[in-house]
Structure 1
Amino acid sequence: MGRPKVMVIDGNSLMHRAFYALPMLTNRKGIPTNAVYGFTNMLLKLIDEYKPEYIGVAFDKKGPTFRHEVYQEYKATRQKTPEELIPQFDILKKMLRLMGIAIYEIDGYEADDILGTFARISSEKDMDAYLVTGDRDALQLVSPRVRVVMTKKGISDVQVFDEDEIKQEYGLTPSQIIDLKALMGDSSDNIPGVPGVGQKTALKLLHEYHTVDGVLDNVQNISGKKLKENLIQYRDQALLSKKLATIVQNAPVDLNIEDCCFEIRYSRDLYAFFEELGFSSVIEKLGFQKEEGTKPNSGTGSKTVVDISTEEQLKDLANTLSNTEKIAILVGDEDITLADNGSKLYRINIDGSSTGNGLSYDQAIKGLEQILENEQIQKIVYNGKRLILDADKCGVRVKGLAFDAYIAAYLLDPTAHRYSLSRLMYSYAGVDTDAADAADLFKLSEKMGEQLDETQMLELYETIEHPLIYVLADMEITGFKVDREMLVKLGEEFSSEIETLTEDIYDLAGEEFNINSPKQLGSILFDKLNLPVIKRTKTGYSTDAEVLEQLRPYHELVEKIIEYRQVMKLKSTYIDGLLNVIDPNDGRVRSSFNQTVTATGRISSTDPNLQNIPVKVEMGRRIRKVFVPTNEDYVLVDADYSQIELRVLAHISGDPTFIDAFLNKQDIHRRTASEIFGVPLEQVSPEQRNSAKAVNFGIVYGISDFGLSRNLGISRKQAQEYIDSYFARYPKIKEYMVRIVETARKQGYVTTLMNRRRYLPELKSRNFNIRAQGERLAMNTPIQGTAADIIKKAMNDVYAELKRRNLRSKLILQVHDELIIDTYKPELEEVKDIVVRCMENAMDLRVPLVVDVGVGTSWYDAK
């Protein structure tokens, strides 16, 4: 029988690791839970892997320690704990108590010291101790009976250190780790060490002289003048650092290892606690069921892997799966895996993988053609758009997508930005794996489907986001024709304009200089012309766009600099950029349309970004002239929602005056100007209308008096008067703004009219600026997000109707509230009817959705 095992976890270390490793998760009340979730899964994994009889969790106690008494600057440079992590410590401690796991924390000492004391006592009792931490300080505690389980990347990857491992990595004994830190210092704990001594130098010194004392006693024998001087000058600092780095092994803690004996058993309170946190995967992993005792962990079951490396095997696989109702497909870099929810996993080895043999990617896709094109076989995927695009290159049309875990992950956590499959498996299915395969997608899709249903987003997924996968893929496949000859000519015109502006700038500056150098430009503006300095950077004067806008009234040169930068950016980004991405085979550019990037639900485009072509300046608008129909038999139809966000605001707020303006087809900005300036509609001046327009759109984004004053060039007092007058005339809009922020604070998120969620942890921040940003997001997201849902619904409907009627015309671009259809001329009237009807009927609001339609032989002309 082996020795008893005791495991001690550094709670602070593991919580910080989990917090940064996982996306921001919250429960239904909006309380952050990602660190607790990560800690819990790591805890269960450790228990399963090491099977300890005893467990304790150590925490740092708030307040100064004995190390601060020795050195006041100890840990002074450490960053503050993130606001979203702070409340999770109390949640974790409650969970540990419910699980029957001992908690330790002592005034004046750190969690490290508790680990050290555990290490000593367990060794004395002839127990094997495992210290779980991410802090390498703990390596000094390693002994024949003590190992350190070091978390590395995230929290799932660990390295176990015993004496041999420390010797192999550092060439040191465990006790020498203290000396290593004493010499090189530790910026995270603000332990000073000896200046100029890094790890390489410290290791060299310790390999020769063994300890800090040995190094200092032999300082005259050490080569390197500066090193020797520093060791002499900072002798006391090195000895102090050693004292700070030494972990106490006799901390005054009431530590009886028998108190750490544990068994995680079912209890109503523990079950309810996990339910409250939304930890359904943890409940399943523990095998808990209501009112029942502990059950063994069900696990994921074993599966037989069938390798496919030849065309004959691939043909047999296609025949085997051809009558299956549902399969999962996962495309990797080295293989394609398929599963049918049975016990078999089919792995197609792609040539060039680590196995050294297999099929080419094209062979694999073509071999699966009868499966991929069979709409009756439902397919669970991860990133279905990629599969569609890759298959299309092989002449295969993917049909029958049933569930895309990548898109579902975005809906459930729209601010995560990264949705790796291994992370999704860990977060939603409770499976810790670095090599997820198609079989895992079955469980993942089930769990994510449940989450979508619980958060009332299943309908949004099924009716909006899932069909959109096909729409965006088809838009990318089709591309947008570019007139290369016109683009080159436009580039020449831009180059000529840049030359003219350059000469003008030199004349106004009185000398030639590098206009693209912020340092040289700053010298001209502030040293030579004595313009007021707005702000500085670490290297000198700031000449960014914000600064130049404020300097515009002071000198004509500033205006020319702004124009120069605009034209330079247009040429480099759009002229030169587009020339580099035009497909030489068909003269088209193919932008990537991103469905999982923006937190509000809007689609973005990249490579090239066709949504950010400037339209406020004529030179920017001219770039749209190079985007043309397929050929002379086609024209472009451009359909654009009129003031969609303000119409959504009218619907959500229910403000009768705002609604009345739209119902009576009034110019909403003129009507708003009439209301806030108290003048009849017919007497509203252009300036008043522009001011009202800025207020209307500013309100949607939660603008402040400061922001509005900057936009309109007026005082903050006058801007606040505009805002106050606005809310006085539209009181229901003000009520909505107050109500939505309060609702967001209570539940932790806001929703669109189609139940798209955005979690807002910013509202719980103690930082005023972050909290204010959260309030603006709470006001804007339901409006902007609903507008995004509407345009997506319209895209799906237009795409489906064009296909249903088997028309040649194709939807090729979406830009915010605008759709562009490459239209076959004989189908023009039919297409216009389809796009207007689909867009105006995408959602039923209290006010009508209005669409403006243009037709032209270029994007410029159609707009």
Structure 2
Amino acid sequence: MKKNKLLLVDGNSIAFRAFFALYNSLERFKNKQGLHTNAIYAVNTMLENIVAEEQPTHILVAFDAGNTTFRHEYFEDYKAGREKTPSEFKEQMPYIRDLIDGLGMKHYELLNYEADDIIGTLAKQADPEEFDIVVLSGDKDLTQLVSDNVTVNVTVKGVSETEVYTPAHIKEKYGLTPQQIIDMKGLAGDQSDNIPGVTKIGEKTAIKLLTEYGTVENIYEHIDDMKKSKMKENLIKEKDIALLSKKLATINVEAPIDVSLDDLKYEGKNLDKLVPFYKEMNFNSFLDKLGTDGIELPAEDMAEVPYTLAEEITSDMFETDMSLYVEMLDDNYHTADVIGIAWGNQERIYVSEGSAVLENQLFQNWLADSSLTKKVFDFKRTYVALNRFGAAFNGAKFDILLAAYLLDTLGSNDDIGELASGFDYRDVDTDEAVYGKGVKKGVPADKAAFHSHLARKVKAIDVLYATLTAALEEKNQSELFYDIEFPLSKILADMEITGITVQASRLEEMKVEFAQRLHEIEQKVYEEAGETFNLNSPKQLGVILFEKMQLPVIKKTKTGYSTAVDVLEQLRDKAPIVDYILQYRQIAKIQSTYVEGLLKVIFPDGKVHTRYIQTLTQTGRLSSVDPNLQNIPIRLEEGRKIRQAFVPREKNWKIFSSDYSQIELRVLAHISDDEHLKEAFIAGQDIHASTAMRVFGIEHAEDVTPNIRRQAKAVNFGIVYGISDYGLSQNLGISRKEARTFIDTYFEKYPGVKKYMKDIVREAKDKGYVETLYHRRRYLPDINNRNFNLRSFAERTAINTPIQGSAADILKIAMLMIDKRLREENMQATMLLQVHDELVFEAPESEIETLQTIVEDVMENAVKLRVPLKADSSIGDTWYEAK
């Protein structure tokens, strides 16, 4: 006879684990009423996963009934000292019970008892001949219940990974039986439950004692046989505590429950409850999954969106305020095929398959007419794609993608279906649902479904416009959108279309040069090793370094010795071979990523056309892809040489580069209003030398050595990034104590900076976000996290984001102003690249002097801070010469 399977879930425990598993996304998980839903969402995922895996016939989710239990009667401080439960978690608990009802599962709690006791009692009541039992929990207390027919799954990572405890696993892990888990807690205690245990006895010592004596009671029966030691003294002195701790840790398997196994039969989901619950929580992905599982959802889930297939274009198809969507399946819109275009508003929508409509004069006229306004999703993508067909695009007034990114950088999504669901609009599918993914991605055979999807996108743009404009106004971000980000997207589009000329011949020469250099380094490695081997094999390299050459082992992996860069850096001074290996890897990466990589992406026009991602970073900085021109390594000469291939498009033209000097430190001086920091910049001093003089007590600038200046520079930039004494000690190769002294002295000399850092962290803790000077927000869900590491990282981020983000905003403002000036002056000079704080141009040699005057003037006066901005310029026949 097939056995039943009983699933017993520790409700409070998994809910708490679920909450913190998605804590980083706390602000993203809210329903339209503002209820946080991250724990509810994660609990749903955990329960769905375990039901799918275990296929139980009976289920119970057990909860604690309150804050006090029978254990408090003999130990008042049981579970005392726990941090206050976050309100964002508490508000979700009633809804987690509603979720469980919708999933068709029973839940139960018993006054004066814990969920563990309910689970333990049911596990004992179930006949081993009839039931296999699976327990799901977020902690290890329940592992004492493990037996031949009871396994305990303990969550260890996120919401999907668990550690499965069986008698064999417990024996392998601890060398104990499941019953001895209770004795182990009696000796070692349990900090999470405030079970005291015996002083100075941890888990390892407890296991050693139990391996010899079996139980706590048997230890005391043989206590006189033990050698004299501090541990023996503590055991004798704290016998009552040890026995009490064991009692507290013991699950009561005789709890007076009034729920029977027959009550727990699982018959599947209760859709009458679950579907409306998912809707209330805005869990659209779970609703979609119900549909893909063959469950018929109510028809109103996705409203009908009427549209007209535009087989013939007529003038009455265009009005003064419409939305436009250009469909491409590939990310790279510089090369992707246009597979369909849709336009319209909520009253009428037109759909055209393929790109043929772009050749229609009426359609081109509408696109080009700036008096006929258009709303889009991803303006830059749309503009560049239309340009490829020779279609001018004017009159764009709003970009849904860009606005959504500004409203919540954590929730930015370039899929209109997913983005729309985040704003409570569900009448458009995700692209994956319609087109598939990976190698199977493509236009569906059902053309009506394809056309409908395009129409739904247009309606979504039209509907979301009102929602997002109101949200931008509410968050004081309208100026950031309309005055900076949206007009910048047009400039970036033009830069991408223009591209930058790259000489393939020079890259081919470098390819040969680097290959020879790699061969030379490779031979030096073999000489040091005394044999040849596969230098690109971490396993073979590990054997050479750590077995043959006996270098100290820093870290091991599952497959052998770690030869990662951070490991090799620590061994650099131990043997010359390590330095050669690091050189080899650096040059090999430059060869494959930049020399060979760039050769693959040069267009027929002899240029590379990077894409600037405007909606990715948390700080507002742009990122570059296909190819990434911002990450060309310039600290190594081999990396700098890559820029030799970047040249102007015409003879007798030059590359011109202008770079903000120490903009982040200048922004810090402005934001912190620190007198000494401001004074140094206003006086035009070398800021790092100035800092060195103050921090290290040096009276004269000429006494600041290069090494001391380097240390001061590390302190300056470390402060900007909220560096710790440990981080600074690692950067400078000094002791942690020395690093702490440097930081403390810095704050003493720059009290305004210290005050800024304290104030901004406090503000972040209160608001949950920080802002730049121009109201760009960054949400910090971990700012009040109980986990020290997560909280500390969020605090450092709170300190840095207003600085780095404001610097990014200032550069964007400068780009807008420069573009305007170049157009007003009718110059041929063209802005080509933005690389962090640097702008790169090409111009006729005759315009260079004027260009330099304009660019430096604009960059230094783009905004008014409490300290001057400074731009440094350079000129050359290549980008290499111009830097």
TM-score w.r.t. structure 1 length? 0.68
Matched, 1:679 2:679: no
Instruction: Please list every run of 5 or more consecutive structure 2 residues that lacks an aligned counterpart in the other structure.
Output: 1-9, 46-58, 67-82, 120-130, 132-149, 169-258, 285-299, 330-337, 430-452
Matched, 1:456 2:476: yes
| 1:475, distance to aligned residue in structure 2 (A) | 1.1
Alpha-carbon separation, structure 2, partners of 1:781 and 1:474: 28
Alpha-carbon separation, structure 2, partners of 1:189 and 1:64: 26
Q: Match of 1:492, as an amino acid?
A: V
Instruction: Please list every run of 5 or more consecutive structure 1 residues that lacks an aligned counterpart in the other structure.
Output: 1-9, 43-57, 66-82, 115-136, 138-180, 196-245, 265-273, 282-297, 351-358
Q: Match of 1:496, as an amino acid?
A: Q
Aligned to 1:405: 400
Aligned to 1:824: 844
Q: Match of 2:307, as an amino acid?
A: V
Deviations 1:383-414 (A, max 9, x none): 11111111111011211211111111211221
Indicate the SS of the match to 1:426.
Answer: helix
Question: CA 1:341 to 1:745, structure 2 compared with 1: closer, same or farther past 3 Å?
Answer: same
Aligned to 1:650: 669
Alpha-carbon separation, structure 1, partners of 2:717 and 2:167: 57
Q: In structure 2, which of residues 351, 361, 365 is the aligned counterpart of residue 370 of structure 1? A: 365
Identity level (%): 39
Q: Within 5 Å, give how 1:76-95 maps onto structure 2.
A: 87-92=87-92
Matched, 1:419 2:414: yes
Q: In structure 1, which of residues 250, 253, 258 is the aligned counterpart of residue 263 of structure 2? A: 250
Indicate the SS of the match to 1:368.
Answer: helix
Alpha-carbon separation, structure 2, partners of 1:485 and 1:326: 47
| 1:360, distance to aligned residue in structure 2 (A) | 3.9
Question: CA 1:541 to 1:816, structure 2 compared with 1: closer, same or farther past 3 Å?
Answer: same
| 1:36, distance to aligned residue in structure 2 (A) | 8.1
Aligned to 2:747: 727
Aligned to 2:653: 634
Alpha-carbon separation, structure 2, partners of 1:529 and 1:804: 67
Deviations 1:497-553 (A, max 9, x none): 111111111111111111111111111211122211111111111111111111111
Indicate the SS of the match to 1:862.
Answer: coil
Q: Match of 1:828, as an amino acid?
A: I
Q: Match of 1:536, as an amino acid?
A: K
Give the number of equivalent residue pairs.
654
Question: CA 1:323 to 1:308, structure 2 compared with 1: closer, same or farther past 3 Å?
Answer: closer
Q: In structure 1, which of residues 323, 326, 329 is the aligned counterpart of residue 325 of structure 2? A: 329
Aligned to 2:175: none
Deviations 1:577-596 (A, max 9, x none): 1111111x221111111111
Contact 1:324 1:340 in 2 (8 A): no
Contact 1:11 1:59 in 2 (8 A): no
Deviations 1:242-289 (A, max 9, x none): xxxx9955269xxxx9xx9xx99xxxxxxxxx9xx9x9x9xxxxxxxx
| 1:778, distance to aligned residue in structure 2 (A) | 0.6
Question: CA 1:188 to 1:776, structure 2 compared with 1: closer, same or farther past 3 Å?
Answer: closer
Q: In structure 2, which of residues 610, 616, 623 is the aligned counterpart of residue 597 of structure 1? A: 616
Contact 1:709 1:718 in 2 (8 A): yes
Q: Match of 2:407, as an amino acid?
A: L
Indicate the SS of the match to 2:839.
Answer: strand
Q: In structure 2, which of residues 506, 518, 524 is the aligned counterpart of residue 498 of structure 1? A: 518
Contact 1:23 1:416 in 2 (8 A): no
Q: In structure 2, which of residues 306, 309, 313 is the aligned counterpart of residue 307 of structure 1? A: 309
Matched, 1:576 2:596: yes
Question: CA 1:451 to 1:861, structure 2 compared with 1: closer, same or farther past 3 Å?
Answer: same
Indicate the SS of the match to 2:409.
Answer: coil
Question: CA 1:809 to 1:546, structure 2 compared with 1: closer, same or farther past 3 Å?
Answer: same
Q: In structure 1, which of residues 347, 356, 359 is the aligned counterpart of residue 351 of structure 2? A: 347
Alpha-carbon separation, structure 2, partners of 1:346 and 1:633: 49
Alpha-carbon separation, structure 2, partners of 1:307 and 1:683: 78
Alpha-carbon separation, structure 2, partners of 1:514 and 1:193: 43
Alpha-carbon separation, structure 2, partners of 1:303 and 1:794: 43
Question: CA 1:374 to 1:185, structure 2 compared with 1: closer, same or farther past 3 Å?
Answer: same
Contact 1:322 1:370 in 2 (8 A): no
Contact 1:185 1:193 in 2 (8 A): no
Indicate the SS of the match to 1:533.
Answer: coil
| 1:626, distance to aligned residue in structure 2 (A) | 1.1
Alpha-carbon separation, structure 1, partners of 2:752 and 2:582: 41
Q: In structure 2, which of residues 391, 395, 404 is the aligned counterpart of residue 396 of structure 1? A: 391
| 1:794, distance to aligned residue in structure 2 (A) | 1.1
Indicate the SS of the match to 1:554.
Answer: coil
Deviations 1:86-107 (A, max 9, x none): 75453245789999x9998522
Contact 1:25 1:32 in 2 (8 A): no
Alpha-carbon separation, structure 2, partners of 1:759 and 1:752: 12
Alpha-carbon separation, structure 2, partners of 1:582 and 1:247: 71
Q: Within 5 Å, give how 1:484-523 maps onto structure 2.
A: 484-523=504-543
| 1:367, distance to aligned residue in structure 2 (A) | 5.9
Question: CA 1:308 to 1:594, structure 2 compared with 1: closer, same or farther past 3 Å?
Answer: same
| 1:837, distance to aligned residue in structure 2 (A) | 2.0
Indicate the SS of the match to 1:453.
Answer: helix
| 1:337, distance to aligned residue in structure 2 (A) | 5.1
Indicate the SS of the match to 1:861.
Answer: coil
Contact 1:663 1:847 in 2 (8 A): yes
Q: In structure 1, which of residues 19, 33, 41 is the aligned counterpart of residue 36 of structure 2? A: 33
Question: CA 1:249 to 1:796, structure 2 compared with 1: closer, same or farther past 3 Å?
Answer: farther
Aligned to 1:624: 643
Aligned to 1:833: 853
Question: CA 1:406 to 1:249, structure 2 compared with 1: closer, same or farther past 3 Å?
Answer: farther
Q: Match of 2:36, as an amino acid?
A: T
Deviations 1:25-74 (A, max 9, x none): 2789xx983548989x99xxxxxxxxxxxxxxx99444599xxxxxxxxx
Question: CA 1:189 to 1:501, structure 2 compared with 1: closer, same or farther past 3 Å?
Answer: closer
Aligned to 1:716: 736
Aligned to 1:789: 809
Indicate the SS of the match to 2:307.
Answer: strand
Alpha-carbon separation, structure 1, partners of 2:804 and 2:84: 25
Contact 1:328 1:442 in 2 (8 A): no
Question: CA 1:766 to 1:641, structure 2 compared with 1: closer, same or farther past 3 Å?
Answer: same
Question: CA 1:759 to 1:862, structure 2 compared with 1: closer, same or farther past 3 Å?
Answer: same
Q: In structure 1, which of residues 375, 379, 397 is the aligned counterpart of residue 374 of structure 2? A: 379
Contact 1:519 1:540 in 2 (8 A): yes
Deviations 1:345-370 (A, max 9, x none): 111123xxxxxxxx647547x76211
| 1:451, distance to aligned residue in structure 2 (A) | 1.2
Question: CA 1:308 to 1:777, structure 2 compared with 1: closer, same or farther past 3 Å?
Answer: same
